[in-house]
Each structure stands twice: as structure tokens, then as C-alpha cells.
Amino acid sequence: MKKGVLPALLLAAATAFGLDWKLPVVTAACEAAGGESEDEEDGTLVSTSRRNTVTLRVREEADPAVFALLLKYSAKDYLLEAGDYAYLQADQDMTLRLGPMVKLGASVGGKYEEFGQLDGEGLSRDFLALRGRLEATVTPVRGTSVEAGLGTRFDLAEETEKAKQAWTVSGGLSSRLGQWLVSARYRGEFRLPLGAASGVEAAAYHVGSFSAQWDPNR
């Protein structure tokens, strides 16, 4: 271990233990659904299915930090056709406020998805997705904030030719000007193959938006 790393880790641990920890808030939920559902895009009926989902959330506060853990298992069975699948998801989020101007965020997680059938080419569709994200929000003056984010996802498919990686960058600016709130945002996603055997083609997707809100009550 390099010189200076160990003292830094010890200092971070001492700081964490010195925070004013609150008792965790634990939420457990079970959901069951079944029958035919309507497709939101074209209004057609989706085949009869049955879904069961179990979710556990644990949220802890230690001012100026907030930690959130999510565990989720969901299984969906189509009763009249193929397409059954199930997934197990785990995510850990953290936000840290550094004074009134800066807020940092980080998250790591994974999702394992298992399908009951092979794809049209007779290959497995199962995969393990590992993802992470870093975010920062800076408020230089009251009413104005600048946001930036960087995220990544690695799909470790059972069939190596389906393995891929995706990187996302995002940014935003919002400012209140009297009775107006003006915002501009951008998000770009870049998909790339993962490994020499991957057959995934490189692709990019961009989304930009602008909004203006007028509130005469302010």
C-alpha cells in the first residue's frame, strides 16, 4: 500500500464513526400481479402473466451523508406463451453534502437476469449487469444549480458475443429568474462491445431538453 493511503483510510473511517447516525429506516414490500395488461404505447393487450416481486430498502442518515440499500427479486411467468424471466437486483446509493454549495452522489449495483428460454438462435439470454454512477451538483448562487454525472454499465452475458458496455454522461443547468425557472439538460449514452468475442455494434444515443416554468405566485 502506498505511503499516505493507510492514514487517509483511517481518517475516513474515524470520520464515518464520528457522524451523528440515525436509526435506519427499513421498508419491506411484496407485490403480486396477474392477468392481462394493456401495452402503454399501442393499447394492445399483453398476454396473461403472473408476477411476484419482493423488495427490501434500508435507508440510513448520518448528517451530512445519506445511504440507501435496495434488494429486489422479481419473477414473471407468462401462462400462455414463452418469455418467462426473473431477476435479482442489489443497489447501494450514497449522497454527501459538502456545505451549502456542493452535493456529491455515488451508486454501485448489480442485476442478474435469468430467462426461461433461449433466444431465436438457441443461445442463452442470461446476463449479469454491473453498474456504477458518480454525480455532483453545485449551487454557486441561490436559485442556480449545475449538475454533472458519469455512469457505466457492464453486461456480462453468458454468451460472450452478447457482452457489452455502456457509458453515460449527463449535465444540466437550472436557474430561477424572478418568476421563471429555466432549465437545460443533456444525456448521452455510448454503447460499446465488451471483450474481443463480443459482436455488439458501437452505438450512441443523445437526449437534450429545455424547459421554462412561469410561477406568478413567486
Sequence-ordered list of residues with C-beta below 8 angstroms from that of 30, at least 6 positions apart, any chain: 52, 53, 54, 55
Q: Does pTM top 0.85 for this prediction?
A: no
Q: What is the mean pLDDT of the chain?
A: 87
Q: Which cell numbers in the block locate residue 172?
A: 444540466
Burial (CB count within 10 angstroms: exposed 0-12, middle 13-18, buried 19+), residue 193 = middle
Rounded distance between C-alpha atoms, residue 135 and residue 147, angstroms: 7
Q: Which domains does the chain have, with CATH numbers?
A: 19-214 (2.40.160)
**Given a cut of 60, is residue 205 above it in pLDDT?**
yes
Q: Which range, 7-16, 74-83, 142-151, 154-163, has the best average confidence (pLDDT)? A: 142-151
- With contact defined as beta carbons under 8 Å apart, do 206 and 188 qualify? yes
Rounded percentage of the chain residues whose pLDDT exceeds 70:
86
**Given a cut of 70, is residue 30 above it in pLDDT?**
yes
| Over residues 196-202, mean pLDDT | 90
Which residue matches cell numbers 452475458?
A: 157
Q: Which of the four pLDDT bands, split at 50, 70 and 90, describes residue 27?
A: very high
End-to-end CA distance of the chain: 55
Lowest mean pLDDT among 38-52, 65-79, 188-202: 38-52
> Which pLDDT belongs to residue 172?
97
